[in-house]
Amino acid sequence: MAKFVITPKMSWYEGLIFKLKKKMIFDQTEFLIEQFLSDSSQTFGFDYTLVNMGGFFRLLNHDRTELVKILSPQELERFEKFSLPKKKLQWLAGRYTIKKALQKRKWFSQKVPDFNRIDVLSCESSAPYLPQFPNLRISITHSFPYCIGVVSQHAIGVDLEKIMELSGSLINQYFHPNEIKSLTEKAETEDYRTQTIIYWTRKEAVSKLLKLGLKMDFQQIDTADDSVLCKDYSPSRIRLISSRMIDYCLSLAVEEEQLISDLLNP
Ligand SMILES: CC(C)(COP(=O)(O)OP(=O)(O)OC[C@H]1O[C@@H](n2cnc3c(N)ncnc32)[C@H](O)[C@@H]1OP(=O)(O)O)[C@@H](O)C(=O)NCCC(=O)NCCS
Protein backbone atom coordinates (compact mmCIF):
# COMPACT_ATOMS: atom_id res chain seq x y z
CA MET A 1 0.00 0.00 0.00
CA ALA A 2 1.32 3.48 -0.86
CA LYS A 3 2.54 5.21 2.31
CA PHE A 4 4.03 8.72 2.35
CA VAL A 5 5.01 10.66 5.42
CA ILE A 6 6.62 14.12 5.42
CA THR A 7 9.37 14.28 8.03
CA PRO A 8 10.83 17.52 9.48
CA LYS A 9 14.28 16.49 8.20
CA MET A 10 13.26 16.52 4.52
CA SER A 11 15.08 18.97 2.23
CA TRP A 12 12.98 21.14 -0.14
CA TYR A 13 13.99 18.75 -2.93
CA GLU A 14 12.85 15.68 -1.01
CA GLY A 15 9.65 17.54 -0.11
CA LEU A 16 9.04 18.28 -3.79
CA ILE A 17 9.62 14.65 -4.81
CA PHE A 18 7.25 13.58 -2.00
CA LYS A 19 4.51 15.92 -3.26
CA LEU A 20 4.97 14.79 -6.88
CA LYS A 21 4.79 11.11 -5.89
CA LYS A 22 1.66 11.75 -3.84
CA LYS A 23 0.04 13.56 -6.78
CA MET A 24 0.96 10.71 -9.11
CA ILE A 25 -0.68 8.19 -6.77
CA PHE A 26 -3.85 10.31 -6.56
CA ASP A 27 -3.94 10.79 -10.36
CA GLN A 28 -3.45 7.06 -10.91
CA THR A 29 -6.19 6.21 -8.39
CA GLU A 30 -8.55 8.67 -10.08
CA PHE A 31 -7.79 7.08 -13.45
CA LEU A 32 -8.53 3.57 -12.11
CA ILE A 33 -11.80 4.67 -10.47
CA GLU A 34 -12.85 6.39 -13.70
CA GLN A 35 -12.05 3.23 -15.69
CA PHE A 36 -14.05 1.01 -13.32
CA LEU A 37 -17.05 3.36 -13.41
CA SER A 38 -16.88 3.73 -17.18
CA ASP A 39 -16.85 -0.07 -17.75
CA SER A 40 -19.60 -0.71 -15.17
CA SER A 41 -21.81 2.09 -16.50
CA GLN A 42 -21.77 0.47 -19.94
CA THR A 43 -22.74 -2.91 -18.49
CA PHE A 44 -25.37 -1.66 -16.04
CA GLY A 45 -26.66 1.46 -17.83
CA PHE A 46 -26.15 4.23 -15.30
CA ASP A 47 -24.45 7.62 -15.51
CA TYR A 48 -21.86 8.92 -13.09
CA THR A 49 -19.50 11.74 -12.28
CA LEU A 50 -16.25 11.44 -10.36
CA VAL A 51 -14.62 14.58 -8.95
CA ASN A 52 -11.62 15.46 -6.83
CA MET A 53 -13.18 17.46 -3.97
CA GLY A 54 -10.00 19.53 -3.63
CA GLY A 55 -11.25 21.60 -6.58
CA PHE A 56 -14.25 22.77 -4.52
CA PHE A 57 -12.29 24.26 -1.59
CA ARG A 58 -12.19 27.76 -3.04
CA LEU A 59 -16.00 27.79 -3.34
CA LEU A 60 -16.44 27.38 0.41
CA ASN A 61 -15.36 30.83 1.49
CA HIS A 62 -14.96 33.10 -1.49
CA ASP A 63 -16.68 32.60 -4.79
CA ARG A 64 -20.39 32.70 -3.90
CA THR A 65 -21.24 33.65 -7.47
CA GLU A 66 -20.16 30.17 -8.57
CA LEU A 67 -21.85 28.52 -5.60
CA VAL A 68 -25.27 29.90 -6.52
CA LYS A 69 -24.81 28.53 -10.04
CA ILE A 70 -24.44 24.99 -8.62
CA LEU A 71 -26.84 24.90 -5.67
CA SER A 72 -30.58 25.56 -5.73
CA PRO A 73 -31.96 28.06 -3.15
CA GLN A 74 -33.18 25.16 -0.99
CA GLU A 75 -29.79 23.43 -1.17
CA LEU A 76 -28.00 26.69 -0.43
CA GLU A 77 -30.06 27.09 2.73
CA ARG A 78 -29.04 23.58 3.87
CA PHE A 79 -25.42 24.19 2.87
CA GLU A 80 -25.20 27.30 5.07
CA LYS A 81 -26.33 25.27 8.09
CA PHE A 82 -23.32 22.92 8.03
CA SER A 83 -20.67 24.23 10.39
CA LEU A 84 -17.83 21.86 9.42
CA PRO A 85 -16.00 22.87 6.19
CA LYS A 86 -15.43 19.14 5.45
CA LYS A 87 -19.17 18.43 5.55
CA LYS A 88 -19.85 21.52 3.39
CA LEU A 89 -17.29 20.33 0.86
CA GLN A 90 -18.68 16.77 0.72
CA TRP A 91 -22.25 17.95 0.46
CA LEU A 92 -21.48 20.47 -2.27
CA ALA A 93 -19.44 17.91 -4.25
CA GLY A 94 -22.25 15.36 -3.89
CA ARG A 95 -24.86 17.74 -5.35
CA TYR A 96 -22.47 18.69 -8.17
CA THR A 97 -21.67 15.09 -9.18
CA ILE A 98 -25.34 14.13 -9.37
CA LYS A 99 -26.26 17.17 -11.47
CA LYS A 100 -23.31 16.62 -13.79
CA ALA A 101 -24.22 12.92 -14.17
CA LEU A 102 -27.81 13.88 -14.90
CA GLN A 103 -26.58 16.15 -17.69
CA LYS A 104 -24.82 13.14 -19.28
CA ARG A 105 -27.97 11.04 -19.67
CA LYS A 106 -27.93 10.28 -23.37
CA TRP A 107 -31.24 8.42 -23.70
CA PHE A 108 -33.11 10.89 -21.56
CA SER A 109 -35.54 12.97 -23.62
CA GLN A 110 -36.44 15.46 -20.87
CA LYS A 111 -34.24 18.57 -20.99
CA VAL A 112 -32.00 18.90 -17.95
CA PRO A 113 -32.45 22.35 -16.36
CA ASP A 114 -29.63 24.56 -15.06
CA PHE A 115 -27.87 23.13 -12.00
CA ASN A 116 -29.40 25.69 -9.63
CA ARG A 117 -32.89 24.64 -10.73
CA ILE A 118 -32.32 21.00 -9.73
CA ASP A 119 -32.71 19.92 -6.11
CA VAL A 120 -30.77 16.98 -4.72
CA LEU A 121 -32.60 16.59 -1.42
CA SER A 122 -32.39 14.08 1.42
CA CYS A 123 -35.39 12.06 2.55
CA GLU A 124 -36.09 11.14 6.18
CA SER A 125 -33.59 8.28 6.09
CA SER A 126 -30.99 10.71 4.59
CA ALA A 127 -31.18 8.91 1.23
CA PRO A 128 -30.73 11.43 -1.61
CA TYR A 129 -33.46 11.93 -4.20
CA LEU A 130 -34.38 14.19 -7.12
CA PRO A 131 -37.86 15.71 -6.66
CA GLN A 132 -37.85 16.98 -10.27
CA PHE A 133 -36.97 13.48 -11.60
CA PRO A 134 -38.97 11.08 -9.38
CA ASN A 135 -38.31 8.09 -11.69
CA LEU A 136 -34.55 8.29 -11.33
CA ARG A 137 -32.50 6.73 -8.53
CA ILE A 138 -29.29 8.31 -7.30
CA SER A 139 -26.46 7.47 -4.93
CA ILE A 140 -23.50 9.43 -3.57
CA THR A 141 -20.21 8.52 -1.90
CA HIS A 142 -17.29 10.61 -0.65
CA SER A 143 -13.88 9.44 0.49
CA PHE A 144 -11.40 12.27 0.45
CA PRO A 145 -10.35 13.53 -2.07
CA TYR A 146 -12.89 11.71 -4.29
CA CYS A 147 -16.64 12.09 -4.62
CA ILE A 148 -18.84 9.99 -6.91
CA GLY A 149 -22.46 10.54 -7.88
CA VAL A 150 -24.45 7.95 -9.86
CA VAL A 151 -27.81 8.34 -11.60
CA SER A 152 -29.86 5.37 -12.80
CA GLN A 153 -33.32 4.33 -13.89
CA HIS A 154 -33.03 1.48 -11.37
CA ALA A 155 -32.19 1.10 -7.70
CA ILE A 156 -28.46 1.63 -7.24
CA GLY A 157 -25.92 2.16 -4.46
CA VAL A 158 -22.25 3.20 -4.54
CA ASP A 159 -19.58 3.25 -1.85
CA LEU A 160 -15.90 4.20 -1.87
CA GLU A 161 -13.62 3.72 1.16
CA LYS A 162 -9.93 4.12 1.82
CA ILE A 163 -8.29 0.83 2.81
CA MET A 164 -7.72 0.71 6.56
CA GLU A 165 -7.51 -1.79 9.38
CA LEU A 166 -10.89 -2.81 10.79
CA SER A 167 -10.91 -4.06 14.35
CA GLY A 168 -11.93 -7.67 15.08
CA SER A 169 -14.87 -6.49 17.21
CA LEU A 170 -16.19 -4.35 14.34
CA ILE A 171 -15.88 -7.27 11.94
CA ASN A 172 -17.70 -9.58 14.39
CA GLN A 173 -20.43 -6.99 14.90
CA TYR A 174 -21.14 -6.17 11.24
CA PHE A 175 -19.91 -9.04 9.07
CA HIS A 176 -21.85 -12.16 8.04
CA PRO A 177 -20.44 -15.58 9.12
CA ASN A 178 -19.64 -16.42 5.46
CA GLU A 179 -17.66 -13.17 5.11
CA ILE A 180 -15.79 -13.89 8.35
CA LYS A 181 -15.04 -17.43 7.14
CA SER A 182 -13.61 -16.13 3.86
CA LEU A 183 -11.57 -13.51 5.76
CA THR A 184 -10.20 -16.13 8.14
CA GLU A 185 -8.83 -18.02 5.14
CA LYS A 186 -7.00 -14.84 4.10
CA ALA A 187 -5.69 -13.97 7.58
CA GLU A 188 -2.10 -12.72 7.64
CA THR A 189 -2.06 -12.23 3.86
CA GLU A 190 -1.86 -9.00 1.84
CA ASP A 191 -5.45 -9.60 0.67
CA TYR A 192 -6.98 -9.54 4.17
CA ARG A 193 -7.29 -5.77 4.59
CA THR A 194 -8.45 -5.27 1.01
CA GLN A 195 -11.11 -7.96 1.35
CA THR A 196 -12.48 -6.49 4.62
CA ILE A 197 -12.92 -3.10 2.96
CA ILE A 198 -14.43 -4.70 -0.16
CA TYR A 199 -17.07 -6.33 2.08
CA TRP A 200 -17.56 -3.07 3.95
CA THR A 201 -18.15 -1.08 0.76
CA ARG A 202 -20.50 -3.78 -0.58
CA LYS A 203 -22.61 -3.60 2.57
CA GLU A 204 -22.70 0.19 2.44
CA ALA A 205 -23.64 0.12 -1.27
CA VAL A 206 -26.49 -2.33 -0.53
CA SER A 207 -27.70 -0.18 2.39
CA LYS A 208 -27.77 2.82 0.04
CA LEU A 209 -29.60 0.92 -2.72
CA LEU A 210 -32.22 -0.12 -0.15
CA LYS A 211 -32.30 3.49 1.19
CA LEU A 212 -31.76 2.10 4.70
CA GLY A 213 -28.34 3.44 5.62
CA LEU A 214 -27.50 2.44 9.19
CA LYS A 215 -31.00 1.03 9.70
CA MET A 216 -29.95 -2.07 7.72
CA ASP A 217 -28.86 -5.13 9.68
CA PHE A 218 -25.35 -5.25 8.19
CA GLN A 219 -24.52 -8.63 9.71
CA GLN A 220 -27.46 -10.29 8.01
CA ILE A 221 -26.28 -9.30 4.52
CA ASP A 222 -23.84 -11.81 3.01
CA THR A 223 -21.77 -10.04 0.37
CA ALA A 224 -19.26 -12.90 -0.06
CA ASP A 225 -21.22 -13.77 -3.20
CA ASP A 226 -21.65 -11.37 -6.14
CA SER A 227 -25.42 -11.82 -6.07
CA VAL A 228 -27.25 -11.18 -2.81
CA LEU A 229 -30.87 -11.58 -1.71
CA CYS A 230 -31.93 -9.33 1.19
CA LYS A 231 -35.22 -11.13 1.91
CA ASP A 232 -36.21 -8.89 4.82
CA TYR A 233 -35.87 -5.74 2.76
CA SER A 234 -36.50 -6.47 -0.92
CA PRO A 235 -37.79 -9.29 -3.18
CA SER A 236 -35.13 -8.51 -5.81
CA ARG A 237 -31.65 -9.96 -5.96
CA ILE A 238 -28.84 -7.42 -5.93
CA ARG A 239 -25.71 -7.68 -8.09
CA LEU A 240 -22.46 -6.53 -6.51
CA ILE A 241 -19.33 -5.41 -8.32
CA SER A 242 -16.19 -4.24 -6.58
CA SER A 243 -12.62 -3.31 -7.26
CA ARG A 244 -9.51 -2.11 -5.49
CA MET A 245 -7.83 1.08 -6.78
CA ILE A 246 -4.42 1.39 -5.05
CA ASP A 247 -5.42 2.56 -1.52
CA TYR A 248 -9.21 2.57 -2.10
CA CYS A 249 -12.01 0.04 -2.65
CA LEU A 250 -15.14 0.84 -4.64
CA SER A 251 -18.38 -1.16 -4.80
CA LEU A 252 -21.60 -0.81 -6.76
CA ALA A 253 -24.89 -2.50 -5.91
CA VAL A 254 -27.43 -2.81 -8.74
CA GLU A 255 -30.91 -4.36 -8.67
CA GLU A 256 -30.59 -7.64 -10.62
CA GLU A 257 -34.23 -8.25 -11.66
CA GLN A 258 -34.21 -4.89 -13.41
CA LEU A 259 -31.09 -5.87 -15.33
CA ILE A 260 -32.71 -9.10 -16.55
CA SER A 261 -35.90 -7.29 -17.58
CA ASP A 262 -33.78 -4.74 -19.51
CA LEU A 263 -32.04 -7.58 -21.37
CA LEU A 264 -35.36 -9.22 -22.26
CA ASN A 265 -37.05 -5.95 -23.30
CA PRO A 266 -34.31 -3.78 -24.79
C1 LIG B 1 -24.69 7.06 5.70
C2 LIG B 1 -24.26 5.69 5.27
C3 LIG B 1 -25.30 5.19 4.31
C4 LIG B 1 -22.95 5.73 4.46
O5 LIG B 1 -22.04 6.54 4.98
P6 LIG B 1 -20.50 6.55 4.59
O7 LIG B 1 -20.07 5.36 3.82
O8 LIG B 1 -19.81 6.81 5.86
O9 LIG B 1 -20.39 7.86 3.69
P10 LIG B 1 -20.43 8.03 2.10
O11 LIG B 1 -19.70 9.28 1.83
O12 LIG B 1 -20.00 6.85 1.34
O13 LIG B 1 -21.99 8.25 1.81
C14 LIG B 1 -22.64 9.41 2.21
C15 LIG B 1 -23.87 9.57 1.35
O16 LIG B 1 -24.72 8.46 1.62
C17 LIG B 1 -26.03 8.86 1.28
N18 LIG B 1 -26.95 8.31 2.27
C19 LIG B 1 -27.07 8.65 3.57
N20 LIG B 1 -28.07 7.93 4.13
C21 LIG B 1 -28.57 7.15 3.16
C22 LIG B 1 -29.62 6.19 3.11
N23 LIG B 1 -30.39 5.91 4.17
N24 LIG B 1 -29.88 5.58 1.94
C25 LIG B 1 -29.17 5.86 0.82
N26 LIG B 1 -28.14 6.75 0.81
C27 LIG B 1 -27.87 7.38 1.97
C28 LIG B 1 -26.09 10.38 1.23
O29 LIG B 1 -26.29 10.76 -0.11
C30 LIG B 1 -24.70 10.78 1.69
O31 LIG B 1 -24.18 11.88 0.99
P32 LIG B 1 -24.80 13.38 1.19
O33 LIG B 1 -24.87 13.60 2.66
O34 LIG B 1 -23.82 14.26 0.48
O35 LIG B 1 -26.13 13.37 0.52
C36 LIG B 1 -24.18 4.78 6.50
O37 LIG B 1 -24.13 3.45 6.14
C38 LIG B 1 -23.09 5.09 7.53
O39 LIG B 1 -23.07 6.11 8.18
N40 LIG B 1 -22.13 4.20 7.73
C41 LIG B 1 -21.08 4.39 8.74
C42 LIG B 1 -20.15 3.26 8.83
C43 LIG B 1 -20.73 1.95 9.35
O44 LIG B 1 -21.03 1.77 10.51
N45 LIG B 1 -20.83 0.96 8.48
C46 LIG B 1 -21.15 -0.41 8.77
C47 LIG B 1 -20.85 -1.17 7.49
S48 LIG B 1 -20.22 -2.77 7.63
225-to-74, 78, 106, 186, 194 alpha-carbon distances in Å: 41, 39, 32, 16, 16
Identify whether residues 40 and 169 lie together within a single domain: yes
Pocket probe mutation, ligand 1, options 92, 140, 216, max atoms within 8 Å of Cβ? 140
Identify whether residues 160 and 210 lie together within a single domain: yes
Q: What is the pLDDT, as a whole number, of residue 256?
A: 85
Domain of residue 263: give its range.
26-46+154-266
User: pTM here?
Assistant: 0.91
Write down which residue in 153, 179, 212 finishes a domain.
Answer: 153
Q: Which of 253, 147, 257 is nearest to 202 (CA)?
A: 253
Tell me how far the alpha carbon of residue 128 lies from the centroid of ligand 1, in angstroms: 10
CATH number of the domain encompassing residue 259: 3.90.470.20
Q: What is the pLDDT, as a whole number, of residue 211?
A: 96
Cβ of residue 220 lying under 6 Å from some atom of ligand 1: no
Cβ of residue 44 lying under 6 Å from some atom of ligand 1: no
Give kind and range of the element (H or E) at residue 146. Answer: strand 146-152
Write down which residue in 103, 126, 153 finishes a domain.
Answer: 153
Q: What is the pLDDT, as a whole number, of residue 113?
A: 84
Cβ of residue 137 lying under 6 Å from some atom of ligand 1: no
Identify whether residues 191 and 147 lie together within a single domain: no
Distance CA 242, CA 250 (A): 6
pLDDT in tens for each of the 266 residues of the chain?
555 566 667 788 888 888 888 888 888 999 999 999 999 999 999 999 999 999 898 888 766 888 999 999 999 999 999 999 999 999 999 999 999 999 887 555 567 789 999 999 999 999 999 999 999 999 999 999 999 999 999 999 999 999 999 999 999 999 999 999 999 999 888 899 999 999 999 999 999 999 999 999 999 999 999 999 988 888 889 999 999 999 999 999 999 876 555 555 55
Cβ of residue 214 lying under 6 Å from some atom of ligand 1: yes
Residue 16 resides in a domain: no
Q: What is the pLDDT, as a whole number, of residue 5?
A: 61
Identify whether residues 115 and 216 lie together within a single domain: no
State the first-to-last Cα distance of the chain, in angstroms, to the nearest integer.
Answer: 43
Number of domains in the chain: 2
Identify whether residues 143 and 222 lie together within a single domain: no
Q: Is 164 exposed, middle or buried (0-12, 13-18, 19+ CB in 10 A)?
A: exposed
Residue whose Cα lies nearest atom 43 of ligand 1: it is 214
